[in-house]
Structure 1
């Protein structure tokens, strides 16, 4: 934590231009608006506001005024707790979770005494208004006549986007202490304001510690200074280095889980996510850029534009620059400003130019102060709350109508009204996805008997979701294979690409959850008859051991994450077990897939039966106890095609030059989804470290030429040849494949060019042969670079074929789906060096979801996704794309587990 009392005197003594703005806290009576930092008095829309001294301000609680310094997580908590102590009838704090590092997550509800006292009833009434299946129009009208409107303001999901937390504190204070102001009175009387002041305490704490540790005699505004250049991994992400603004779809992090639960409880009508952008920008608010998700409604778009117009009015009055429509779109459903739209809210992102510290010199030569950024977010927050209060009736009416229309849209869909997960394979994956949708607030059912839907008969235990429900649009946008961007937007992107202007696609264009989980999903245009079981958040995946007192062995069929979690737990419990390279049939009775685990009774202690049952219950795995080892087809238990497994020690490259997101996402998948520890080693250390006590080394995406270079690569190569397993992910594969590095015998491809285009110039000559151009196309053709990479892909889901005859793909389906991002395409490895074990499908079939440039489709077809290259006693396993992105590609987890645990069993290293 920051040593506030040591650093603060230095800062305040030097920065008289800032400290002069902080006025002493009032002792008694009502104090004019000018008691806040002077520039905040420029908020001319609230000229008559006075502050009640009974409500403590930041100066009196924390010893500094708004915008004077960057508030820490403990100080933020202390201030909100002081507000609640002073005004317990008008503000109530809720703890909604705890971060990985143990920091408390809170949100506050602010309103009149009556509204705060009735929060429980408000939640009940909003739940009723959210479901026209139980609340008819007459009852809904009665609710709308009495309910307040509501707004949820969420701040600092990116820990180094610092100003919004202090703006949240000022907003809460302004609403509670402000007297004699029509805007404040209107907001308090007609709405409930929910404030989540700090969504990412771990990242903010990391930023603050780094920032104040670099401050010298005075703050530097120079963008080259250490103050404005954060060390890896920066403060943006949380403990596991997740960009939590992109976690709303997968809900992997505790911070996301808690706030989604809170929003599902109260269903706020307007949700605003407040961010920061580059310091040379101004301020952004709605309307959003194109494309817009087609499952959003026009009423939602209109309502958020109402908010934008009111923001513009206040910004104009204050002389603040702003822009709209140019950057931040509303297409991907997994942001903090898009997820709420799919329960019916109107939502938007706000972005302010960031000082990334206390002062920043802009390109125009002007200094941007921290106080300036706080002020703008504060004004936007109050302006938003004002709009919500002014439009109470409209927002409630549109919210209820959204639910009605969502149900009607589901009923009228004659092709995809119902999505069915047959649950024939990957039992654990189907269960996890069903639970995930329940966490989102979707009604998911599991069949209790055989059900016939659209000509297909589904066994008991199948899952289905009927889109004729209030969350039907969310189901459509997350379960439909393809969500299209508008034709006009695509046409413009193709035009821009042709002109080499760069596309305007902001994020991934494919995100179908069944595809990312690699699950079978069917559809039906009719509702489902019968009384079936509603999936609940409290459901657990039940493990089972048949013949628990087996005399010979226990077999765990391989192929899902229940078996994977059993494996990692068993290895850590020192259970002796083997993996079978090929499928086998036991005693002519049951066939087990390749990769299945064999736990022999004789090789383990007397408690093995109890241990297996315990691990089955923990993991949810289905395990067969057997009384014979007689195999009638495939490898026997004692075959050379069964390999003894032991607990590998895993290292992951950490720190520059790795991608922090890739490193964090990968570590999270292994530690929290697989349940196995990983040691993070700084990349600079790997260059010369003695790695003999590690069996697996993972290089996440990154630019390793600067961090490892040839010497580091040589150190790793020697370790691999001695029996180590090197796994490269995404752009780390580019490093390994570099001819000067020599870790992997493949090459990265340049873009395919039309024959005769862009002739390579003679660099030694100052002239070229003359040509006559007939039209503009000739100019364009000769302007092309002769050698360039394929066009960049923002993120699509691609179909991948899998070799079924290798231990590295044991238990993996014959086809999986991976995410393609960037422009790396690799030529296949030659058989003399290794094997291509998974590859992208044909040009016609490679695209699973999203939008992919035609040239990339053509070039990506049949290029490798997974490569295995033996090297001495060890091996290199290369993923040409990242399998751990955002920890939401669950369908690739078994493949990654094989690369870690089966690979270490197949390497020959002295242990």
Structure 2
């Protein structure tokens, strides 16, 4: 294998005490081994070749070898590096981070954490105390590498950075950094994805490593290495914190509160290198100091990149708006944070479009230089970073206290007890102070029952509260104006990701606001809190009833089915003995239908699930269906199949499987899409098609196989773009059509295809030219991701327990016609034009066309049915408010199948 030779001398300026990492390009040769910075390394510190048998950048380092190398560093320099294990992946791989600093700073790590916690809360640390703390506190930088498993170079750059910090004894940057800062290195955020990538890559390598982008080496098989075991894009998991990797990382960062946080990524191999400043728009809850500080980091990077002759770009593509990334979440505890992106070789060598080869070593080198530059900036600006960090906390508290309308956010204890509890715990996990009322509480003239939750935004994490709890976070008006201009010119917008993310909306929870400071009895929510289930009248004679409508009841259902509990669901609400009303979908466990000590089993399941259960001594129903009515159905444990592999969307498949397995607590069988074409599915009751291009993978033959299974009693659930497949005229599983964009102008004259000429026209202005250039038929404009209000039919078993109004995410440009009553029912539809947008930014034409179009469609077919979600209900596993609807689609639907109605 040919490996380029790099010599990177350190240039020192005695006058400015300046040190720059540079590459002597003239000294490169194509056949000599790699050489890193031209400094004296301490031979007591083992290098990568000594430990692993190859030089940095010559091979893609595995997770196990990365662990071996960091363990060797700690063994060699235990007083200057300390390794912490912060979690374990779904596949059992260790997650670690390393703290590197001077012997004194590493010895004082525990005190450093204590002091940073004190500096983080001006409510307990006044300005004089903070000033004294800042006199001696080191700065801190957290470098997080390879959150996407197939973005491979940063892990090897992390190893090189750690080695350089410990072994480069005469490097001025290192001396300054270790004295004035602590460097935290998270070398591999996604071991499962990286391991998948490496296995696939080296399995395809032949006699030589190919640079051709067409080869198997450069084209990963499904699901690729980007995501983790559950196929989550973990750079989008910082808001919902669903994955163990994210949970451990957030807990660690909340403990040490690093002042500068950098998330190192890769992008297309034909690009150069990206670092701060970020693109527009910026989140309005960021401070100017944070923006200024990350620009300091970017300027220093530019200095080193210029010295090395490395191309780079800033202010493009990667914005600072959405708060749920690895480079944006730290912003809201006060850090200065940014993303770095390097052109990826996606293997050991890649031929760019300009004809030059990009080696793995090239990409590692650039991330190494950027890492060291960032460390240098952090150490050089120790005092400023600490001062600005403390000021951020002060300003956050002041902003909350001065808000006379939305200082407090209150989750009333009146519906969805499980959802309120989960959101309160989630905010606590983020580091927010959340309080539960322990007595009646009156706020802004409203009485709240015990068990309500509130968050006071007058706290250090107040800006995070504002950006995640307010209904709308606006993008800058000038940015929106520019996007409208670009859309008019058919240039495509510059919106990078979702524009709506209000957590109460995504959980579909009631939230009140109040501009006054709280008072009354309350308790601080902690991470050790649990949702307590309860069985009233556990010695009941007749039955146990679980009111339907939240995830606690859902978890009760799935555990009960797996423990062979015989239970029913009621299609309609009912009143027992003229006293207690139960909502539609409520679960009925009749004692006579169950053997053994069913009471003890019910109590155990209630405790595990957090559900509230009523024991009853009569089955006398005075309104609604009786226990023996035709409107109550026995629910048997369905066997669920899910499409897996090409052409299924890996993210949609992973998100959906996670929601069902880890949030609902019920197993899913993943079946490769190619197998579904001719598979005998008779022993499955439910088949889920996540988003995907199934015309390519299933086709007409596969659709016919599935159609026969549905008609025999199966339940087919299509999510997002899978509904496009079901609605295809050639497939005919669902009797709806995907709409083209509405054109308000008169239809264009269609040119005669047999003529070389057409009637002439006169254009009065450029707008007329643009309008006449548009396609006669085109899809609605693409939507990056907004939250939309959805109205729900309240008289169908499929929406039992679902609130009259829910919130869904709209992404893309699929809008469907309603299904006609002769074929099925529209059970949930988007709100009117004025109210359809719940949060985010939506083009006016999309508002008009989306209004009253279906979100949930039900179509009976023979003894089975097709249930179509026109948008994905499981996106990023953070749309908790749609979980009951999905539970009904799986469990109630399978109970209703096989029965002629």
Normalised by the length of structure 2, the TM-score is 0.97
Q: CA deviation at 1:765?
A: 3.1
- After superposition, the C-alpha distances for 1:445-485 in whole angstroms (9 at most, x for unaligned) are 00111111111111111000000000000000000000000
Q: 1:46 & 1:405 partners in 2: Cα distance?
A: 44
Q: CA deviation at 1:773?
A: 2.2
Q: CA deviation at 1:318?
A: 0.4
Correspondence list, 1:470-619, <5 A = 470-619=460-609
- Which of 662, 672, 676 matches 1:682? 672
Q: 1:16 & 1:802 partners in 2: Cα distance?
A: 63
Correspondence list, 1:439-454, <5 A = 439-454=429-444
Say whether the 8 Å CA contact 1:33–1:49 is kept in structure 2: no
Mark the CA change 1:779 to 1:16 in structure 2 (over 3 Å): closer, same or farther. Answer: closer
**Matching of residue 319 in structure 1 with residue 309 in structure 2:** yes
- Which of 369, 373, 381 matches 1:379? 369
**Matching of residue 183 in structure 1 with residue 173 in structure 2:** yes
Q: CA deviation at 1:761?
A: 3.3
Q: CA deviation at 1:181?
A: 1.4
Q: 2:93 & 2:438 partners in 1: Cα distance?
A: 42
**Matching of residue 154 in structure 1 with residue 144 in structure 2:** yes
Q: CA deviation at 1:767?
A: 2.2
Say whether the 8 Å CA contact 1:33–1:51 is kept in structure 2: no
Correspondence list, 1:391-790, <5 A = 391-790=381-780
**Matching of residue 867 in structure 1 with residue 857 in structure 2:** yes
Counterpart of 1:10 in structure 2 is none
**Matching of residue 350 in structure 1 with residue 340 in structure 2:** yes
- After superposition, the C-alpha distances for 1:513-561 in whole angstroms (9 at most, x for unaligned) are 0000000000000110124100000000000000001110000000000
Mark the CA change 1:761 to 1:527 in structure 2 (over 3 Å): closer, same or farther. Answer: farther
Q: 2:704 & 2:404 partners in 1: Cα distance?
A: 60
Q: 1:555 & 1:678 partners in 2: Cα distance?
A: 27
Counterpart of 2:13 in structure 1 is none
Q: 2:185 & 2:359 partners in 1: Cα distance?
A: 24
Counterpart of 2:18 in structure 1 is none
Q: 1:150 & 1:531 partners in 2: Cα distance?
A: 38
Counterpart of 2:210 in structure 1 is 220
CA-based RMSD: 1.9
Q: 1:215 & 1:190 partners in 2: Cα distance?
A: 45
Task: Figure out how many residues of one structure are paired with residues of the other and give that number.
Answer: 886
Say whether the 8 Å CA contact 1:244–1:256 is kept in structure 2: yes
Mark the CA change 1:620 to 1:371 in structure 2 (over 3 Å): closer, same or farther. Answer: same
Q: 1:22 & 1:663 partners in 2: Cα distance?
A: 46
- Which of 48, 73, 80 matches 2:63? 73
Q: 2:599 & 2:789 partners in 1: Cα distance?
A: 41
Q: 1:774 & 1:137 partners in 2: Cα distance?
A: 65
Q: CA deviation at 1:771?
A: 1.7
Q: 1:40 & 1:852 partners in 2: Cα distance?
A: 54
Q: 2:243 & 2:733 partners in 1: Cα distance?
A: 35
Say whether the 8 Å CA contact 2:7–2:23 is kept in structure 1: no
What's the secondary structure of 1:618's corresponding residue?
A: helix
Q: 2:238 & 2:519 partners in 1: Cα distance?
A: 32
Say whether the 8 Å CA contact 2:441–2:521 is kept in structure 1: no
Say whether the 8 Å CA contact 2:419–2:551 is kept in structure 1: yes
Mark the CA change 1:337 to 1:650 in structure 2 (over 3 Å): closer, same or farther. Answer: same
Q: CA deviation at 1:334?
A: 0.1
**Matching of residue 822 in structure 1 with residue 822 in structure 2:** no
Correspondence list, 1:823-838, <5 A = 823-838=813-828
Say whether the 8 Å CA contact 1:22–1:65 is kept in structure 2: no
Normalised by the length of structure 1, the TM-score is 0.96
Counterpart of 2:53 in structure 1 is 63
Q: CA deviation at 1:763?
A: 2.9
Q: 2:2 & 2:659 partners in 1: Cα distance?
A: 48
Q: 1:866 & 1:280 partners in 2: Cα distance?
A: 42
Counterpart of 1:792 in structure 2 is 782
- After superposition, the C-alpha distances for 1:595-628 in whole angstroms (9 at most, x for unaligned) are 0000000000131000000000000000000000
Say whether the 8 Å CA contact 1:40–1:375 is kept in structure 2: no
Say whether the 8 Å CA contact 2:6–2:36 is kept in structure 1: no
Q: 1:769 & 1:436 partners in 2: Cα distance?
A: 64
Q: 2:440 & 2:622 partners in 1: Cα distance?
A: 34
**Matching of residue 809 in structure 1 with residue 781 in structure 2:** no
Q: Structure 2: where are the runs of 5+ without partners?
A: 9-20
Say whether the 8 Å CA contact 1:645–1:902 is kept in structure 2: yes
Say whether the 8 Å CA contact 1:220–1:227 is kept in structure 2: yes
- Which of 153, 170, 179 matches 2:160? 170
Say whether the 8 Å CA contact 1:581–1:595 is kept in structure 2: yes
Q: 1:285 & 1:203 partners in 2: Cα distance?
A: 24
Q: 2:552 & 2:747 partners in 1: Cα distance?
A: 53
Q: CA deviation at 1:784?
A: 1.2
Say whether the 8 Å CA contact 1:578–1:643 is kept in structure 2: yes
What's the secondary structure of 2:751's corresponding residue?
A: coil
Mark the CA change 1:320 to 1:708 in structure 2 (over 3 Å): closer, same or farther. Answer: same
What's the secondary structure of 1:52's corresponding residue?
A: coil
- After superposition, the C-alpha distances for 1:233-279 in whole angstroms (9 at most, x for unaligned) are 00000000000000000000000000000000000000000000000
Counterpart of 1:3 in structure 2 is none
- After superposition, the C-alpha distances for 1:200-249 in whole angstroms (9 at most, x for unaligned) are 00000000000000000000000000000000000000000000000000
Q: 1:55 & 1:638 partners in 2: Cα distance?
A: 76
Q: 1:757 & 1:777 partners in 2: Cα distance?
A: 16
Q: CA deviation at 1:588?
A: 0.4
Q: 1:17 & 1:130 partners in 2: Cα distance?
A: 47
Q: CA deviation at 1:123?
A: 0.2
Q: CA deviation at 1:776?
A: 2.2
Say whether the 8 Å CA contact 2:278–2:319 is kept in structure 1: yes
What's the secondary structure of 1:105's corresponding residue?
A: strand
Say whether the 8 Å CA contact 1:46–1:183 is kept in structure 2: no
- Which of 125, 129, 139 matches 1:135? 125
Q: 1:877 & 1:656 partners in 2: Cα distance?
A: 22
Q: 1:629 & 1:494 partners in 2: Cα distance?
A: 61
Counterpart of 1:6 in structure 2 is none
What's the secondary structure of 1:629's corresponding residue?
A: coil
**Matching of residue 195 in structure 1 with residue 185 in structure 2:** yes
- After superposition, the C-alpha distances for 1:168-192 in whole angstroms (9 at most, x for unaligned) are 0000000000011111100010000
Mark the CA change 1:812 to 1:38 in structure 2 (over 3 Å): closer, same or farther. Answer: farther
What's the secondary structure of 2:41's corresponding residue?
A: strand
Q: 1:900 & 1:744 partners in 2: Cα distance?
A: 18
Q: CA deviation at 1:21?
A: 7.8
Q: 1:149 & 1:824 partners in 2: Cα distance?
A: 49
Q: CA deviation at 1:38?
A: 8.4
Say whether the 8 Å CA contact 2:413–2:450 is kept in structure 1: no
